[in-house]
């Protein structure tokens, strides 16, 4: 691949290496330069442009990424269409990610231009969860390198696959000692049911017996006869030794202890056993908590029918210290798969209007209508469905201002803590069948239904256009349309900054929609701004 600076007239057929914004020209990185682009560059008085030009034997970044992704993908893995040299891989079913680490390492050793990254091995996933990505660093890669990478992937195939959850019937046994409250057991059952939910597993048998070997052995026998494919024993007292009550009861019914103890904290006192061809877990005390711990790591593998050996457990030490980090929760619900370009409309109307110096700006009138009603009516007139309005400050007055409109109200009691709280309240209310949401501000009455529809039209997940945003002379405005894939990121924002910083983090997924008028940049934050908007809308 040739790379370097050339005059615009010599750039035809090459690829723009950098984005250029000058004198009304917007040329995005990665654009294939044709005659119209050359004319635009010369009109903008750009004397030189850095380009990349493919040579014989080169493979374009998208083709190479797609080919390699197809080679690494195994059972239960879907590959999205490649864009900007990246092909993302997603789980097709709920299960556990199985990774051939040696295969991943060998693939990444083929050529510095070819990279492959995955989630942690044995990560639990739900349908639609991104599990891996192939990224080609330059705009093209030598065909020989692409072919070698494919050969490495096929030799290790599958490099990544999803082991679907198989175990559906789980038995729970709780042992009892004086002082163990019933509410502790009830809470444990609820937490465990929540853990099992994403795997499609349920508790089919539940017993509570004295913390004694004979009583527990009898309960194990009964639960297994009831059809449990996996049994979890919550001891009233933690297992202290391989000869303690729980392991002794397993052996009493002819079972076998696979391993006791685990280099994961919390989760050290874990017992993994087999009885009559089915797995038995002696749960550590931390398993009563909903927070991720070592118990989750073993449970998810067993629910997927994967063997858990002594070496599997002893190999968990690196990264096994969980005490001092904030861990992600287990997925508690399976999101609906994407089914098309269905976009919900969110109107954020919860703010306190502090910069207005007193009145609620959303209730100020323009042409006899409250500002928030004007903004909401435009969202309703667009293709965004349904329309959700997030209220907060002066909730009742805002709802009265929108009386009669076909909207769903969601109240944010934490509106004083910043814009992010309203964004999160709105995202939670987006229906499962929506592929994305367009976030509109209630103080931007000049944003039209036509602008909203242009953003929706630009939203093309299958082409990698996952975030759509309007621009005026290269400056980004509002509203912003977000794919459902970014909802977890939106739920993690804090304070009064909104989600603007995320756009920079996902630049490759952003599509800019140029607009001519200033509506996308004009919000009403001050009395002066209100006067200006009133004058503009009166024209």
Residue 73 sits in a domain whose CATH number is: 3.90.1170.30
Structural domain that includes position 107? 58-164
**pLDDT tens readout for residues 75-109:** 999 999 998 899 999 999 999 999 999 999 999 99
For residue 515, name the pLDDT band (cuts at 50, 70, 90): confident
475 and 488 inside one domain: yes
437 and 389 inside one domain: yes
Both ends of the chain: CA-CA distance in Å? 54
Domain count, the chain: 4
Contact 194, 254 (CB under 8 A): no
410 and 487 inside one domain: yes
Residue 327, pLDDT score: 29
| Residue 328 within a domain | no
**pLDDT tens readout for residues 162-217:** 999 999 999 999 999 987 888 889 999 999 999 999 999 999 999 999 999 999 99
| Residue 284 within a domain | yes
Nearby residues of 354 by Cβ (< 8 Å), 6 or more positions away: none
Work out the mean pLDDT of the chain and round it to a whole number: 89
**pLDDT tens readout for residues 156-175:** 879 999 999 999 999 999 99
360 and 448 inside one domain: yes
CATH number of residue 25's parent domain: 3.90.105.10
Where are the strands (E) in 341-493, listed by range? 343-349, 365-366, 369-370, 387-391, 408-411, 436-441, 467-472, 475-476, 480-483
80 and 47 inside one domain: no
CATH number of residue 230's parent domain: 3.40.980.10
Cα–Cα distance for residue pair 459/436, rounded to 1 Å = 9
| Residue 126 within a domain | yes
182 and 101 inside one domain: no
Cα–Cα distance for residue pair 130/77, rounded to 1 Å = 10
For residue 323, name the pLDDT band (cuts at 50, 70, 90): low
* Domain termination residue (choose one: 147, 164, 181): 164
Q: Tokens for 371, please give them.
A: 């500002």
| Residue 437 within a domain | yes
Where are the strands (E) in 92-185, listed by range? 95-99, 114-118, 124-125, 130-136, 140-142, 160-164, 169-176
101 and 30 inside one domain: no
Question: Residue 13: how many CB atoms within 10 A of its CB?
Answer: 11
Report pTM. 0.62
Rounded to 5 degrees, what are φ and ψ at 244? -70, 180
279 and 365 inside one domain: no
| Residue 332 within a domain | no
407 and 467 inside one domain: yes
103 and 183 inside one domain: no
> Is 409's pLDDT higher than 80?
yes
Poorest-pLDDT segment among 121-125, 395-399, 430-434, 522-526: 522-526
| Residue 327 within a domain | no
292 and 383 inside one domain: no
Can you give 179-240 as a three-state secondary structure string? CCCHHHHHHHHHHHHHHHHHHCCEEEEEEEEECCHHHHHHHHHHHHHCCCCEEEEECCCCCC
In the chain, what percentage of residues exceed pLDDT 70?
94
188 and 232 inside one domain: yes
Residue 67, pLDDT score: 97
**pLDDT tens readout for residues 14-41:** 888 888 888 888 888 888 889 999 998 9
Can you give 272-316 as a three-state secondary structure string? EEEECCEEEEEECHHHHCCCCCHHHHHHHHHHCCCCCCHHHHHCC
> Is 340's pLDDT higher than 60?
no
CATH number of residue 367's parent domain: 3.90.550.10
Q: What is the CA radius of gyration of the chain?
A: 29
> Is 363's pLDDT higher than 80?
yes
| Residue 246 within a domain | yes
State the Cα angle at 504 between 503 and 509, rounded to 5°.
60
Nearby residues of 433 by Cβ (< 8 Å), 6 or more positions away: 336, 339, 342
**pLDDT tens readout for residues 259-299:** 999 999 889 999 999 999 999 999 998 899 888 889 999 99
| Residue 514 within a domain | yes
Tell me if the bond preceding 371 is cis, omega within 30° of 0.
no
């Amino acid at each position: 691949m040739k790379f370097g600076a050339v005059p615009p007239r010599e750039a035809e057929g090459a690829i723009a290496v950098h984005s250029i914004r000058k004198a009304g020209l917007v040329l995005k990185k990665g654009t294939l330069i044709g005659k119209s682009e050359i004319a635009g560059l010369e009109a903008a008085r750009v004397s030189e442009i850095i380009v990349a030009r493919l040579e014989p034997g080169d493979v374009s970044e998208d083709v190479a990424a797609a080919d390699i992704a197809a080679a690494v993908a195994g059972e239960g893995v879907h590959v999205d269409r490649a864009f900007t040299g990246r092909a993302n891989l997603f789980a097709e079913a709920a299960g556990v990610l199985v990774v051939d680490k040696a295969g991943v390492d060998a693939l990444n050793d083929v050529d510095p231009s070819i990279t492959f990254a995955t989630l942690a091995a044995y990560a639990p996933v739900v349908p639609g969860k991104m599990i891996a990505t192939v990224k080609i660093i330059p705009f093209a890669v030598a065909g020989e390198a692409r072919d070698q990478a494919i050969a490495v992937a096929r030799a290790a195939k599958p490099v990544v696959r999803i082991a679907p959850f198989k175990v559906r019937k789980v038995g729970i046994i709780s042992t009892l000692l004086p002082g163990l409250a019933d509410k502790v057991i009830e809470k444990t059952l609820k937490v465990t049911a929540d853990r099992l939910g994403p795997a499609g597993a349920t508790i089919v048998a539940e017993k509570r017996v004295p913390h004694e070997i004979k009583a527990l052995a009898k309960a194990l026998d009964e639960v297994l006869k009831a059809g449990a494919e996996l049994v979890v024993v919550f001891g009233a007292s933690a297992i202290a030794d391989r000869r303690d009550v729980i392991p002794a009861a397993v052996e009493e019914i002819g079972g076998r202890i696979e391993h006791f103890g685990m280099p994961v904290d919390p989760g050290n006192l874990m017992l993994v056993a087999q009885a009559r061809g089915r797995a038995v877990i002696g749960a550590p005390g931390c398993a009563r908590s909903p927070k991720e711990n070592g118990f989750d790591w073993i449970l998810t593998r067993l629910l997927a029918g994967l063997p858990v050996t002594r070496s599997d457990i002893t190999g968990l030490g690196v990264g096994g210290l969980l005490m001092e980090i904030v861990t992600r929760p287990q997925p508690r619900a399976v999101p609906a798969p994407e089914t098309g370009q269905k976009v919900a409309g969110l109107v954020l109307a919860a703010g306190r209007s502090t910069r207005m110096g007193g009145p609620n700006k959303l209730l100020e009138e323009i042409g006899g209508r409250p500002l928030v009603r004007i903004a909401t009516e435009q969202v309703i007139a667009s293709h965004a469905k349904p329309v959700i309005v997030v209220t907060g400050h002066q909730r009742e007055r805002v709802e009265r201002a929108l009386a009669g409109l076909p909207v769903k109200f969601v109240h944010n009691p934490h509106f004083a803590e910043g814009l992010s709280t309203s964004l999160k309240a709105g995202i939670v209310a987006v229906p499962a069948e929506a592929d994305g949401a367009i976030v509109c501000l209630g103080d931007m009455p000049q944003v039209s239904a036509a602008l909203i529809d242009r953003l929706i039209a630009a939203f093309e997940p299958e082409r990698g256009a996952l975030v759509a945003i309007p621009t005026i002379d290269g400056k980004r405005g509002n509203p912003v349309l977000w794919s459902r894939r970014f909802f977890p990121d939106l739920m993690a924002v804090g304070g009064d900054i909104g989600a603007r910083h995320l756009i920079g983090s996902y630049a490759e997924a952003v599509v800019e929609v140029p607009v001519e008028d200033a509506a996308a940049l004009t919000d009403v934050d001050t009395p002066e701004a209100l006067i200006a908007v009133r004058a503009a809308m009166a024209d």
